[in-house]
Chain A
């Protein structure tokens, strides 16, 4: 008979929203509790809903680790390019088995009063540009919009581009007028934001996956009966299993929808040699990450690489 409030950072039918509604469905089918889902903007932006969860007003929050950087700097590790596997199957393997994700991160979140329930991938990052790009040389001089984050900026600097921070509301207009020449986002955002209309050259570099995380207020979670804790865990697993299925078809469907609607769109998938040209530039971002996070970051990075090794073989 309790109302549990759950906020995330995306809009209707986006990956986080689908996850939230699956969670809600399971909880409501298997208990007397109800779950109220709040989408982006309804209770503020990403940082706001995180604070509200820490304050205990919200019980659940879905925030991408990249945005958690101001609270847990190590969480920005997901911005290091080519740290996650490039193909989908290995990525899912990685999320299921990684020690870093399933053991180290929960500890860090718990220091901030958060019970980390699940980290999950939303989709591969895709770069869109005004011209077809295949190499770091092609990237030279291009203003690529990034979120305001030092590691993302470093990534695009490493790739040869000029990282240009721009608030989200100005991205579409900025691409249209040419103040920026490109941007990066998972494909479903490129579709729903109509970004392909104004930035039609899609580039799959395999450099990263947009990752996100569901967490609960820790005092709330600790105060639940063991049955209810189990319910939360089961609901999370139910939603996670569904979402893994959901995203595997999603990228292709979205790409198909985009190609159907626009004749200007080009799709470039880099081959292994071309990827190598970008991958060679990744260490400079790693260095920046280590600079920002010190020993704990180093330990996490090492574990990440070991986990990656484990699933790749």
Chain B
């Protein structure tokens, strides 16, 4: 059954069907074979509804809306101009700043999709203008956004922590090392890319110009204050911070800068709704797909077949990495953690692996998986928002995925990358 589902899915995908169809047809086949007919298709619909139910998903349209308002108005430009006044003359500076912004924003907002939009919308045009190629820019934005999974607060780690009974506090701290390592590797690649492709730099700004750019950016600097201060200050949940950003963006562009009118707002909201719908319908059918996989106990059967219980600690850790990586290529990360973690629990226990290390590895794979073709929420979001063809969005990803896999490899060989901080803090 699993084979027929996967083959059908990939076939339809390659033929150029709308992405929701391969997932839906594969799920329908699964339901038909499991229940000998179409008698239980109501559950497919139920799970589609379940997929778009989580309240935390609301942050996605909210950040899309705020980012669109900022980008079409002036807030985003002013913020970027300020950053450029300081780093514009450094080779690769813009790309490194983009990576760092994605990491920070993602860390705080907790949503990688929101990060793709909020940082990507204003910075992608700027990167293109500065001479970076589009596939590189898109791949950088998509992959750097995923570092957010590793930096606290991370919803993936919370869920893993609860399921596996691992200290969430230790997990949070353990994620920081690998997160910084990946950001560092990405930055090196950005600088190398800028040198190899001879991306031009801007003339160095004077301190006067820099001061001027800060003054221009004073109002828009309220956004980072609102998000970082609001969330860590205990005023907002991440979702609420997103909505607060919408309100603030409206006040700025509508009231202070007077750059948008009511008609613009209507159009922006409509466009946000459209992007939300094309991404969420994929989340919905993906949840239906994963339900039937889970119901038919396909992961358990596969793990038994490969003899997971007889592998050593490194074998188990690598198997976990591969399983989560593959699963996240097709299914929403949170669902993957919920379904797979308990299945691996006995093997983790038997092998004596540190559950904190496993948690970091799982979070890392989940991050990689959501930026990896064929199915990845961040890829869908980038396609929907930037309106680029699928191929162009994923063309630049291989070097980034390689660096991420390299980090995963390093984590197997040097678990200290993750465990150093928690050991220092708690043990």
Contact = CB atoms under 8 A, between A and B. Distances in A.
Interface stretch (B38-46, B81-89, B257-265): B38-46
B165 A13 contact: yes
A12 B345 contact: yes
Interface string A34-51: 001011111111001001
Contacts of B342: 11-12, 39, 42
Given A43-B291, A194-B168, A173 B158 contact: yes
Contact of A177 (B231, B291, B339, B345): B231
A167 B59 CA distance: 13
| B interface residue count range (under 10 / 10 to 19 / 20 to 34 / 35 or more) | 35 or more
B369 interface: no
B56 A167 contact: yes
A166 interface: yes
Nearest to B236: A179
Contacts of A43: 291, 294-295
B426 to A, nearest CB: 9
Given A167-B54, A169-B155, A197-B167, A11 B162 contact: yes
Interface string A138-180: 0000000000000000000000000000110110111011110
Contacts of B164: 12
A194 B54 contact: no
B167 A178 contact: no
Contacts of B40: 55, 57
Contacts of A11: 162-163, 165, 342
A73 to B, nearest CB: 21
B407 to A, nearest CB: 25
A169 B163 CA distance: 12
A5 to B, nearest CB: 8
Contacts, number: 95
B168 A42 contact: no
A52 interface: yes
Contacts of A167: 54-56
B251 interface: no
Nearest to A177: B234
| A interface residue count range (under 10 / 10 to 19 / 20 to 34 / 35 or more) | 20 to 34
Contacts of A193: 161-162, 168
Nearest to B171: A194
Given A11-B163, A44-B47, A167-B56, A172 B42 contact: no
A174 B56 CA distance: 13
Contacts of B42: 55
Contacts of B345: 12
Contacts of A170: 55-56, 237-239
Interface in B331-386: 335, 338-339, 342, 345
A39 B164 CA distance: 12
B233 A42 contact: no
Contacts of A178: 233-234
18 contacts: A12-B345, A36-B297, A40-B338, A41-B335, A41-B338, A42-B294, A42-B342, A44-B291, A57-B43, A167-B54, A167-B55, A170-B55, A179-B236, A179-B237, A193-B162, A194-B167, A194-B168, A197-B169
Interface of B: 35, 40, 42-43, 46-47, 50, 53-56, 110, 153, 155, 158-159, 161-165, 167-169, 231-239, 291, 294-295, 297, 335, 338-339, 342, 345
Given A43-B294, A44-B47, 20 more contacts: A11-B163, A13-B165, A41-B335, A42-B294, A42-B342, A43-B291, A51-B46, A55-B43, A57-B43, A169-B159, A170-B55, A170-B56, A170-B237, A170-B238, A173-B155, A173-B238, A178-B233, A194-B167, A197-B168, A198-B169
